[in-house]
Amino acid sequence: MQGLVTVFGGSGFVGSQVVRALAKSGYRVRVAVRQPNLAYRMRMLGDVGQIEVIQANVRNAPSVARALEGAEAAVNLVGVLWESGRQQFQSLHAMGAKTVAEQAAAAGVKRLVQVSAIGADADSDAKYARTKAEGEAAVRAAFPTATIVRPSIVFGQDDKFFNKFGQMAASAPALPLVGGGATKFQPVFVGDVAAAIAKIIATPGAEGQTFELGGPTVYTFKELLELVLTETGRARVLAPLPWPLAGLVGKLGDIQASILPLDPPLTTDQVALLKAGDNVVAPGAKGLADLGVIPTAVEAVVPSYLYRYRKGGQYAPTPAGAF
SS3 category, 149: strand
Give me the number of domains the chain comprises.
1
Mean pLDDT of all residues in 104-127: 97
Measured CA to CA, the distance from residue 221 to residue 138 in angstroms comes to 32
Question: Is residue 61 in some structural domain?
Answer: yes
- Alpha carbons within 13 A on the beta-carbon side of 3: 15
CB atoms within 10 A of CB 296: 20
For residues 76 and 58, the answer to whether their CB atoms sit within 8 Å is yes
Measured CA to CA, the distance from residue 72 to residue 69 in angstroms comes to 9
For residues 220 and 181, the answer to whether their CB atoms sit within 8 Å is yes
**pLDDT of res. 2:** 77
CA angle at 165 for the pair 164 and 170, rounded to the nearest 5°: 105
Measured CA to CA, the distance from residue 264 to residue 21 in angstroms comes to 31
Predicted TM-score of the model (pTM): 0.95
**pLDDT of res. 220:** 97
Question: Is residue 256 in some structural domain?
Answer: no
Over its C-alpha atoms, the chain yields an Rg (Å, rounded) of 20
Measured CA to CA, the distance from residue 32 to residue 115 in angstroms comes to 15
> DSSP labels for 41-98?
GGGGGSSTTTEEEEE--TT-HHHHHHHHTT-SEEEE----SS-BTTB-HIIIIIHHHH
Output phi, psi for 33, to 5 deg: -140, 160
**pLDDT of res. 315:** 62
Question: Is residue 249 in some structural domain?
Answer: no
Question: Is residue 274 in some structural domain?
Answer: no
Q: Are strands 154-155 and 188-189 parallel, antiparallel or unpaired?
A: parallel
pLDDT tens digits, residue range 246-283?
A: 999 999 999 999 888 788 989 999 999 999 989 999 99
pLDDT at 206 over 60: yes
Torsion from C-alpha of 239, 156, 16, 42, nearest 10 degrees: 110
Question: Is residue 276 in some structural domain?
Answer: no
Question: Is residue 238 in some structural domain?
Answer: no
pLDDT tens digits, residue range 76-99?
A: 999 999 998 889 999 999 999 999
Burial class (CB in 10 A: 0-12, 13-18, 19+), 323: middle
Q: Tell me which of 2 and 18 has the higher pLDDT.
A: 18
- Cα–Cα nearest to 146, from 95, 195, 197: 197
Torsion sign over Cα 160, 162, 168, 171: negative
For 297, which DSSP code?
P
pLDDT tens digits, residue range 156-186?
A: 999 999 999 999 999 999 999 999 999 999 9
pLDDT at 16 over 70: yes
Q: Tell me which of 203 and 28 has the higher pLDDT.
A: 28
Query: For the domain that residue 48 is a member of, what is the CATH number?
Result: 3.40.50.720
For 118, which DSSP code?
T
For residues 225 and 178, the answer to whether their CB atoms sit within 8 Å is no
Range of the domain at 14: 4-154+186-214+281-291
- The model's confidence at residue 285, banded by pLDDT at 50, 70 and 90, is very high
- The model's confidence at residue 321, banded by pLDDT at 50, 70 and 90, is low
Residue type, 245: L
Question: Is residue 32 in some structural domain?
Answer: yes
Question: Is residue 105 in some structural domain?
Answer: yes
**pLDDT of res. 85:** 86
CB atoms within 10 A of CB 231: 25
